[in-house]
Copies of this chain bind each other. A is one copy, B any other.
Amino acid sequence: MSRTTVSNAYNRPDQLSPELRRRVLETARRLGYPGPDPVARSLRTRKAGAVGLLLTENLSYAFRDPAAVGVLEGLALACEDAGVGLHLVPASPGREDVAAVHRAGVDGFVVYSVPDDDPHLAAVMQRPVPTVIVDQPRIEGIDRVGPDDAAATTEIAQHIVSLGHRQVGVLCMRLARERNDDFVPPERQSSAHFHVQRIRLEALATAFSAAGVDWSTVPVVERFDHTVDDGASAARQLLDAHPQVTALICTSDILALGAMAEASRRGLRVPADLTVTGFDGIAEAERAGLTTVHQPVLEKGKAAGKLLLGSADRLAPKIITLKTELRVGSTSGPPRTIEQPWFGP
């Protein structure tokens, strides 16, 4: 019996008689043949049947951030719909080993939130397969899915300005691949390799400058790791040095939750003594009443998957901008006022 017949038995049942097919499969089982080798088939058909996901955030933090989990879930859902696997590429912030990217047998990549100078990203760009980037970085000619960070951040800023705050502080996620758990000088802000963070800081700078605040005096504290505890320690560092601050703007809900914990530790009431805002709109933040920008993270992941899987015969790169919504909660209010002496009648 020829190889063709066997191959047909597995892949195109309509090309041979049911009887013969049955016999082939039966014989295969008897001989312990496990069915066509997926790798050899992929080589031949030029289809790996999998999508690669490049994510350079530390996995432990990624899985603890509902925003990231939402993206992952949406992407996995899109893959499931299409019947293709989702291949998580092993890559962590410190790791310089790019081989895993080269070794991944995938039909395309989704890149989620990596710095523009990441070597893994460079390796992905070298692979001759379609790529979709979620959030960051922005690369000319590459499909992208993400919110309008500048617009959303501007909304937050204007909300805070309109409440009357002029003494604000900012807590942001890491701006580059090198750790800097400290205040951020202006040049580091403007040269940040994490596009999203840079855009958000720029939007804040613009909005507050317009409101008459000298941005160079606004303290910005950065944290490399993305955990609630890091948010708390960042808030501590900022408030210790700048106790006059009346509002803490955080570039993520995770950091904001940490800031709220620190506020409570110091006996500061939110929002009476301190306004705190976040970004993402994760469930825990909503439960805490956090004022934040909600973005549809599940849709983000799904959109990325669909874009990639449907990118076969497309010419122009596609940019999908997700809707965001400012959700004012109970953590933002007017700044505390210094008691005025009362000159009564």
| Contact partners of A84 in chain B: CB under 8 A | 90, 100
Known: A38-B105, A49-B100. A69 touches B76 (CB 8 A): no
| Contact A105 B48, beta carbon cutoff 8 Å | yes
Question: In the complex, what residue of chain B is closest to A79 when comparing beta carbons?
Answer: B90
Question: In the complex, what residue of chain B is closest to A125 when comparing beta carbons?
Answer: B34
A56-108 residues with Cβ-Cβ distance < 8 A to B are 59-60, 63, 69-70, 72-73, 76-77, 79-80, 82-92, 97, 99-100, 102-106
- Chain A: interface residue total (CB-CB under 8 A): 47
Give the CA-CA distance A38 to B97 in the complex, in Å.
16
Give the CA-CA distance A66 to B60 in the complex, in Å.
12
Is A338 an interface residue when CB atoms closer than 8 A count as contact?
no
A24-45 residues with Cβ-Cβ distance < 8 A to B are 34-43
Known: A38-B104, A105-B42. A88 touches B79 (CB 8 A): yes
| Contact A76 B88, beta carbon cutoff 8 Å | yes
| Contact partners of A48 in chain B: CB under 8 A | 39, 105
| Contact A73 B60, beta carbon cutoff 8 Å | yes
Known: A50-B105, A126-B35, A127-B34. A85 touches B88 (CB 8 A): yes
Is A243 an interface residue when CB atoms closer than 8 A count as contact?
no
Is A128 an interface residue when CB atoms closer than 8 A count as contact?
yes
Give the CA-CA distance A118 to B295 in the complex, in Å.
37
Contact of A80 among B39, B42, B59, B102 (CB under 8 A): B59
Known: A39-B42, A49-B100. A86 touches B83 (CB 8 A): no
| Contact partners of A102 in chain B: CB under 8 A | 35-36, 38
Give the CA-CA distance A189 to B105 in the complex, in Å.
43
Give the CA-CA distance A92 to B91 in the complex, in Å.
27
| Contact partners of A40 in chain B: CB under 8 A | 43
Minimum distance in angstroms from A221 CB to a CB of chain B: 26
- The 7 A-B pairs with the shortest beta carbon distances in the complex, nearest first, are A80-B90, A86-B88, A63-B73, A49-B103, A39-B105, A34-B128, A38-B105
